Each structure stands twice: as C-alpha cells, then as structure tokens.
Chain A
Amino acid sequence: MRNIFQDVLGGDTAPVDALDIDLRSVEMGDVVFETQGVTKVYEMGETQVHALRGIDLELHAGEMVVMLGPSGSGKSTLLNIIGGLDTATEGTVHYRGWDLTRADEAQLTLYRRFHVGFIFQFYNLIPSLTAEENVAIVTEIARDPMEPRAALDLVGLADRADHFPAELSGGQQQRVAIARAVAKRPSVLLCDEPTGALDSDTGVIVLDVLQTINDELGTTTAIITHNQVVSKMAQRVIHLSDGRVSEIEEIAEQVSARELAW
C-alpha cells in the first residue's frame, strides 16, 4: 500500500530509475563518485572567492574516507556539491555514472531523498519534533527505510525516542542526526565535522556508530574533520588545501573507532 501522505507531501514520487542511475549492484571498490575538474567560485560583488580550483577525485563503494584540510580549504563546499546541496561552477560529478552536475532541481531532490544521508556539525534537528519523529520525517519519504526505532537503536538512543532535541545533549543530538541519515539506507553518508561540537568520549561514540554502519550496511562514508586522529579509522585520507586535492593517503591498517582518543 502506498503511503497516502506520499501523494500529499512527496510531490515528485517518480521512480528512482528516473534519475538514470545505473542501479546494477555495485561491487566493493567500484567507483561510486567521480569528480572531474570541479571548481566553485563565489561571486562577492567585485571580488571572487575560489573555493574549489579543480577537484579530480574518485570515491569507491563501501569505502570510508576522511577529508582533512585547513579551514577554508573547500571541504564543505566539495561535500555539498557531491551531496547535491550545491552546484559546481565548472566540472562534472558522476554518481554511479549519472551526471549530477547536469541534474535539475527535481532530480537532485530525488537523489538526496533516496541516495544520500547527511550529517552536519550542528545536527540540524527539527526542534519541534522528537528524536523518533526527526527520523520518521526522513523515513516517511524514503523507500524501504528502517523503522525509526531501529535506526535509533543503531545509535544507542532507543530509550530517548520521545525526547525533543532541546532535551538531548549535543552528542545525543548528533546520534539522532546519524540515525536520521542512515534510516533510509542511503548508499552514501556525507558527514561534515560530525564530531566538531563534541568532546572526545562522545565523539568516539559517534564515530563508532559511523564505523558500524559502514561495516554492516556497506555505506560509502565521507567524513570531514579537522581532527588528525579520526583519519586513522579511514581507508583513505584526502587532503585538501586552497581548493585543491594536495594528497591522497592510503591507510593500510584501519584502527577501530573505539580505540581512538584525542
């Protein structure tokens, strides 16, 4: 049975394949994202800010990457473009062979709805909804999502399901945000400084959750951080500086998130 609210709220409930995304199963290591010459220029009246100056990058199915770089180096900008929250000035981004940079707004909406999970530094929970409802707001429009309770269970917050964001600590709010992001079973999880506002212990819990999800669901995960330590749990570390990829580091031995501390 279709969710009736889907008709009312969903708007464009076109099938996912309307996006022209190659939905054949991807094997571990297949290219999920491919960016070519991505630049981003912000026009600020007279002056121009070159946030990205030509990014060529590949992200692979099921991998966990960490993006490191000084403040203002373009990390958030890149992640936003990959996630369909922003558009590139030049260059292309392909998601499973589908050109994101040529997508229209409706396609980007579907893309975000069915494929991407976001986690922001400041959680962006909806203050008027409880933890469970904050998850439900995403699962209600997703296809084949988890139960909101199950997603909260995954982040260890099932007992706080009925709490409002204001009644949760920062770390708990971030875990709700993670539950919300993974509940739709996205194929990629994009995290912009997920531990930025958290202390070490809480940060570790959050990272552990991300690692578990990456392991168990095989979700491609990109994490932006300022924290060198976090890069130890990644398979690859992408260093950005001044809008360019300065170095890509392969990590041979990943450390379990639980063993991290800073």
Chain B
Amino acid sequence: MEDRGQTAKFHIPNSTFHTRTVFAIGKKLLRDLWGMRGQALAIAVVIVSGVAMFIAALGTMDALTRSQRSFYENARFGEAFASLKRAPTDVERRLQALEGVATVQTRVIADARLDLAAFDEPITGQLLSLPERGQPALNRLVVREGRLPRRGTETVASEAFAEAHDLHPGDKVTAIINGRHRSLTIVGVVLSPEYVYQIQPGGFFPTPERFGVLWVPRATLGAAYGMEGAFNSASFTFTAGANPQNVLDRVDEVLAPYGGRDAYLREDQVSHRYLTEELKQLEQLATTMPVTFLAVAAFLLNVVIGRLIRTQREVIATLKAFGYSDWAVGRHYVGMVLVIVAIGAVGGTALGTWLGRLLSQMYLQFYKFPELHYSLGIETVVVSVGVTALAVLGGTLYAVWQAVSLRPAQAMQPEPPATYRETIVERLGLKALFDQPTRMILRHLERRPLKALLSMLGIAASIAILMTSTFFADAVDYMIDVQFNRAQRQDLTVTFTGPTSDEALYELKSLRGVTTAEPFRSVPARFRHEHRQYRTGIEGLSPHPVLRRPLTDDLEPVPLSAEGVVLSDYIADVLAVERGDTLTVEVLEGTRPTRKIRVAGRTKQFIGVGTYMQIDALNRLVREGGALSGAYLALDPRYEEETISALTRRPGVASVQLQQRAVQSLLDTMGETVLTFTFVMALFAGAIAFGVIYNAARIALSERARELASLRILGFSQGEIGYVLLGELALLTLLAIPVGFAMGYGLCYGTAVGAQTELFRIPLVLERRTYALSALVVLIAGLASGVVVWRRLGNLNLVDVLKTRE
C-alpha cells in the first residue's frame, strides 16, 4: 500500500510509442468487411454498374468519333461536293485554280440497277468512277479484300453490299445503266468515307441488301453513261483559312454553265450527315443515361453506406471511449468503404472497358470504318470513380459524423426514436384493423420517416432507371407503327429515272396486281425564313392521298391545300415558323426559281423530315406541268411477286423500294444499335436494383437483429418476426412502385427531349409492359433479398443476444 504514490510514473511525458506488427484496428476493418461481404459485394455491384455503364458508353462514343476522324483523315474525305449535268474534263483545272481550293477530284457517278443471279428483288445501285491508275486524290478507298480494278470489266463493291450478299472477288454482278446490261467481275471489297453509312437516296436507313455501291474504271463508266471526257461530280478540300461558303459560291459560278447544282459542304453529304445525326443521338444516350445512372447509383450508395455505418454506432462510441479521436474513427470507416469502392472501381473499369469495346465493335457493323480506335479514357474513369467515391465517402462521413458528434455515453445507447407515440393510424382509431406485428411495422416506419422515405426513394430510383432503359423499345415500336401504318402505307415506291409525264401513272395503275397508285414529285429545295435556312426536298403529293399521308399531331391526315407548303415539325422548329407565316423557297433544280410560299400546316413526323405540297402546286412552282418523280403503290398480295418483277424490268424505272422490307431493315438497324445499348443498360439497372434492395434488407436485419431475437425469446415465431421485418420491406417496395413510375416517366421525358435529332424524334410512349417489367424486376429483387433475410432469421442466434445487452 505504501507505494501507491507512484501512480504518476505511468505518465512519463517522453515515453515512446511501440511499434507493433499487429494492428487491431486494421484487423477489425478486414474482419468487418469480410463479415458483411454480402452487402459489400452488393454495394460493389452497384458501383461496378454505374462505373461500367459510364465507361462503356463514353468509351463507345469516343471510339466511334475517333475511328471516324482517323478514317476521314487517312482516306482524305472531301470537305465539299458538287454535282452537275456534264462538264468537260478540263473544267477540273479551272476548279483547281480557284482560290481556297486545295485539291479537286472529279468523277462520274451513275445511277444504275443491279442484278445478282442469286437475288430476285430489285437492287438500286450507284456506280462511281475510279482513276485509271491508283487511288483517287480524295475519297480514297480502303481495300478490305482483293484489289482495285485494272480492267474495264472489273469492279469493287462496298463492304456493306458485299457482306449482305456474301460477295467476294470472282463473283459477278450485272449493272443496268441507261437500260444497257453490263456484266462486271468483282475483284475487291472496299470501304469509302463517302459511304460509312450507306443510304439509298431518299432513304433514312442503310439497306445494304437493296442498295449497292460499285466503283469502276472511269473509261468504262464514261462510255456506259455517255460521259467520255467529262465528269458530273466533283469533290474538294479547302486550303487552310479559306472561307468555305465563298469557295462554294465560286465553284457554283464555274459549274453553273454545266448544270452545276449548288455545291454543298461535307455536313450536307448524306453519309456524313446521317452518321453525325446518329452519333449525336448516341452521344445523347451515351451521356444522359450513364450520367443518370451514375447519379442514381451515387444516391443509392450514399443512402446505403450511411445506414450501414449507422449500424456501427455503438462500436464507434466504444472506440471513442477508449480515446480514439473523431478523425481516427472517421478514417477507419473511410478506409473500410474505400476498399469497397476500390473493388467496384476496378471491376467497373474492367467491365466497362470490355463492354465498350464490344459495343463499339457492334457499331462497326453499321458504320463502316476500317478500324476501331478504342482506348480507355482516363478522364471517364476518374470522373465515374470519383463521383461514386464522393457519394460513398459523403454517406460514410455523414453517418460517422452523426455518431461521433454524440457524447460517447449517449452513442452507446441504442439510437432513441425521434418521438414515442402511437402512429397516425393508431391515433385515428384504426388500431383494431391491424394486428400487433403490423402495428410494429407501421410504428417503425413512422418513427423514422426520413429513413423510410430514403429507402423508398432508392427503390423508386431503381424502377425509374429500369424504365428508362426499356422505354426505347416502346418508342421504336410506336415510331414504326405510326410511320408505316399511318403515314407511309404504300407497299412499294417506284422511282423513275427522271420527271415523267402523268401517262406513266395510268400505266402503273393498269398493271395487274396494283390496287392503288399515287403520284409523287420530289424536288430539292432550300427554305429560308429570316436568317434561318434548311436544305431539303419538297414532296408533291395528290390532294387526298390514301397511301402517303402527312399526319397531324393527333395522327390524322393533314389536308394539303392548293397553295402553301406543309412542314414536318422538325423543319418548322428549325425555321421557327408557324402556320400562316411566309417562307422563301429556292428550288435547286431546273430553272431554279425562288418564290415566296405560305406555311399551310405542320406535320408530326418521328422519323426523318419532309415538306409536302399538292403535286400540281409543286409543278406550278417549278414551272413544269404534270411531271412526277415516281409513284406509291398498294399491291394485291396475290400478285405481289409478279408485279414486282414486272416493275423492276420496266424501262424508265430507276428503283423499286419495298415498304415492308424497309420496315424490316429499320428494325434490324435500330434493334441492333439502340436496343443493344439499352439492353445493357437494363441489365445494369437490374443489378443496381438488386444491390440496393438486398442491402436495404440486410441492413434492416442487422439494425433490428437484437429486437427480433428478443421477440423470438419472448415467444414470437420466425414467421412473425419475418413478417415484422419483411413486411416493412414489402410495404416500402409497394409504395416505391408508383413513385418510381412517376420518376421513370420524368426521366424518359428528359431522355426523349434530349435525344431529338434530324433523324428521329423519340416519342414519349411508355407501354404497359415497360411499367410491368420494371416493377417485376424490383419485386423479384425484393423477393430474392427477402429469401436471404428469411434464411438468416432462421439462424438468428438467441444466445448471442443474451450475452450482450438489451
């Protein structure tokens, strides 16, 4: 007893810390992580989904743009183009001499019909001339198979066309140019920057089976097309610093005497324009959706991690009682969640990179680039991982802060409910309606309204992103239905080689198997309104069309007045005109008159754009009487084959397009691009939903394990405590469904508005199956989580509970 005075020796100020090999708190971190591996994994899955989606989408976008750029550069894709009737070859030198022109390439382009022995249907062809030797100066070809033609009977085919018909060097194709048949031998398969997106003139989608592009030596094509020593097409590049519009004006001046028709920039080149539109739309998808995903994932992580940390409240208090500082406790938990974030980030980056490569490769089936330039963007990784890490850390630190800001004495107590009282339901006297366990559920929810709300919103958010990812299928179905069952009801479209007299229509009508024939006239034109302008075609239709009908917003046919033009909504918006406004129209054909014209109405058009007039009014506008460019036909299905082959062989017919086939190819294209993309998103959305719901259930279990075990000790059955715990989850899930539907509708609206392009206006239609599917995925996730929790309830260790307090 005498030596008790030495207490102070335990406080030697300059004593040193021990170095140890065992760090208990580090072990706690690892064991805790291992102990909640199920939940940690579920959280990691949410991170993986968010990060992978983001990286895959942006990576695909980036790969496509870079592949495009590199192809354009290597192949020297023209920066401007001009078409004309016929100019002697030496005009090329005058073009070359123009200020601002760097390189000129002249060539002959001929429309043709193609015939393949193994394919019965009509094929539209475009033949382009190649220099006698080597590659053209601009718009060079990338030879994928075989070689370039050397002899007059040799040709190379575009890869899209060759793939569609399995054509290889040695195969034969017949080209019908100006009614004369020419047999050509394919010696190579090529890619051209002018046909990355190979669209038939007048079409909206690539139809590689029915539209082929061939390149033949210039002499051959010149002879066949009456273009010896002449050209009818030119392509340019500009010198640095040249003003493109000025150069185009000078080109037009030079070519005007030769029927030069309004030289245009690369941005109006068909393939490039559609490619740009498609990429723009893809970019919309590839940014808005993953950003939404990431935001949702971040929100969910924040909520889930916060709850997870809150279950550690007492441990935090105990650590603090020992003298661990707030910082030390905070860092401990930050370390713990960073391990989860790291797993998610590595997994997400790997999966995202792999998927991005896969998606880009898939797109290469539609966009004919010679090679894919795929690389992992560091910024995308940093952004996506950073966002998730911030969300997770935010949730962690907030929860830790809440725990440490309490006095340890208080934190060691279980968290007190905000208020002790009967629930609204009970106070309303509805108590009798509910049994004891149900009242426990209601009370628990009501005591923590914020927590209940957040859990519910988390589930709702999963429903919303599921809806957004499946909504595209509905939209595409709807677009196709409107376009092909209401607006374009013809079975086929016949295009004549040039403006033809009315006679031709009567001849078509009299063909056996043709039930209806409607004329159309199409004329290229440029519309101007104030400072805005838009280059498109005017379509002249019969006054009361039955087959080809522009539609109102209510999808009723728009009446075509005797004067005035009807614009599709996209063009009307670009030009900022309303019904009744006056436009300037510049016809880009024939005598090229410029007129004022009244806007007679606007049409709803989801796919493509268009302007419509009565055919007679259009002919008056271009000062030609009774001319038509082609006809829309309805066929008697019994004679379909016969009629088609008769039409195909008819002189003066440039092309025969089958409507049904167009729908099919549209479906194919859309199906495989946008839908694959959204399918991947749906998978991730499903994974996120599972991760969140599973975690919600597991956390609920750990928060209430003691309470539930005590209930068991008091004689409740597993079924009853299961009901108390899972009933709450079920109630939250059911509440989340309508809220999720509303959030999903909002998200789809945003996406539809954001993804408007010249090519598509995505209609905001959500089919019942979209609602049903998202609700189903969430319900299944809830059920699966419920099963896991149920099995854990069976193993609830009552003895453990007795050993510790409460």
- A interface residues, Cβ below 8 angstroms from B: 1-6, 8-12, 15-17, 23-28, 45, 61-62, 76-77, 80, 83, 85-87, 105-106, 109-116, 118, 120-124, 126, 128-129, 133-134, 136-145, 165-166, 170, 173, 180, 185-187, 197, 215, 217-220
Contacts and interface: CB of A to CB of B under 8 A. Distances in A.
A137 B327 contact: no
A181 B723 CA distance: 42
A43 to B, nearest CB: 13
A218 to B, nearest CB: 4
Interface in B444-469: none
Interface string B1-32: 11111111111110111111011111110011
B805 interface: yes
16 contacts: A1-B16, A3-B18, A9-B324, A12-B327, A25-B6, A27-B5, A61-B7, A86-B409, A109-B320, A110-B323, A126-B28, A129-B28, A140-B24, A217-B7, A218-B3, A218-B6
B4 A3 contact: no
Given A23-B13, A61-B4, A137-B28, 12 more contacts: A15-B13, A28-B1, A85-B407, A86-B408, A112-B323, A140-B20, A140-B23, A143-B11, A144-B10, A187-B7, A187-B8, A218-B7
B599 to A, nearest CB: 69
A202 B23 CA distance: 31
Contacts of A170: 803
Contacts of A45: 419
Contacts of A137: 24-25, 28, 319, 322
B326 A11 contact: yes
B28 A112 contact: no
A170 B800 CA distance: 10
Interface string B790-806: 00000000001001110
B92 interface: no
A133 B407 contact: no
A16 B6 CA distance: 18
A140 B21 CA distance: 10
Interface string B27-40: 11001100100000
B320 A112 contact: yes
A110 B11 CA distance: 13
Contacts of B25: 5, 9, 137, 140
Nearest to A173: B803
A133 B24 contact: yes
B700 interface: no
Contacts of A105: 326
Contacts of A112: 320-323
Given A2-B16, A62-B7, A85-B407, A129 B324 contact: no
Interface string B257-275: 0000000000000000000
Closest 4 CB pairs of A and B: A113-B323, A122-B805, A11-B327, A25-B8
B676 interface: no
B23 A17 contact: no
A143 B15 contact: yes
Contacts of B319: 126, 137
Contacts of A141: 322-324, 328
A113 B2 CA distance: 27
A114 B28 contact: no
Nearest to B30: A128
A85 B324 CA distance: 12
A140 B408 CA distance: 20
A146 to B, nearest CB: 10
A217 B8 CA distance: 10
Contact of B4 (A106, A113, A144, A218): A218
A124 B314 contact: yes
Nearest to B323: A113
A109 B325 contact: yes
Contacts of B8: 23-26, 187
Given A2-B17, A128-B32, A11 B325 contact: yes
Contact of B24 (A85, A87, A129, A185): A129
B332 interface: yes
A115 to B, nearest CB: 8
A138 B322 contact: yes
A9 B336 CA distance: 13
Interface in B314-354: 314-315, 318-328, 331-332
Nearest to A121: B805
B410 interface: yes
A32 to B, nearest CB: 8
Contacts of A17: 13
A137 B321 CA distance: 12
Given A80-B409, A137-B322, A25 B803 contact: no
A166 B800 contact: yes
Contacts of B755: none
B10 A187 contact: yes
B780 interface: no
A12 B15 CA distance: 16
Nearest to A9: B328
Nearest to B26: A5
Nearest to A144: B15
A3 B320 contact: no
Nearest to B325: A11
A156 B625 CA distance: 114
Contacts of B35: 128
